Amino acid sequence: MIFLKTDDEIELLRQSNLLVGKTLAELAKVIKPGVTTKELDKVAEEYIRDNGATPTFKGFPNFKGASFPASICTSVNEQVVHGIPSDVVLKDGDIVSVDCGTYMNGFCGDSAYTFPVGEVSDSVLHLLKTTKEALYKGIENAVSGKRLGDIGSAVQEYCENESFGVVREFVGHGIGKEMHEDPMVPNYGKRGNGILLKNGLCIAIEPMITLGDRHIVMERDGWTVRTVDHSCAAHFEHTIAIRKGKADILSSFKFVEEVLGEKAI
- What's the min distance (Å) between Cβ of 180 and Mg ion? 7
Smallest distance, Å, CB 247 to Mg ion?
Answer: 16
Asked if 20 and 72 count as a contact pair (C-beta separation under 8 A), the reply is no
We find the least distance from the C-beta atom of residue 74 to Mg ion, in angstroms, to be: 12
Burial class (CB in 10 A: 0-12, 13-18, 19+), 244: exposed
CB of 34 to Mg ion, least distance (A): 26
Q: CA 56, CA 113: separation in Å to the nearest integer?
A: 17
Question: Which residues, listed in sequence order, are joined to residue 205 by a DSSP beta bridge?
Answer: 238
Rounded distance between C-alpha atoms, residue 132 and residue 205, angstroms: 11
Task: Select 26 or 237, whichever has its Cβ closest to Mg ion.
Answer: 237
Nearest distance in Å: CB 15, Mg ion: 17
9 vs 99, which CB is nearer to Mg ion? 99
- Closer to Mg ion by Cβ: residue 48 or 93: 48
Farthest CA pair distance, the chain: 48
Residues that bind Mg ion (CB under 5 A): 99, 110, 112, 204, 237
- How far, in Å, CA of 244 to CA of 108, rounded? 22
Name which of 93 and 136 has its Cβ closer to Mg ion. 136
- The residue (of 44 and 204) whose beta carbon lies closer to Mg ion is 204
Q: Classify residue 141 by its DSSP letter.
A: T
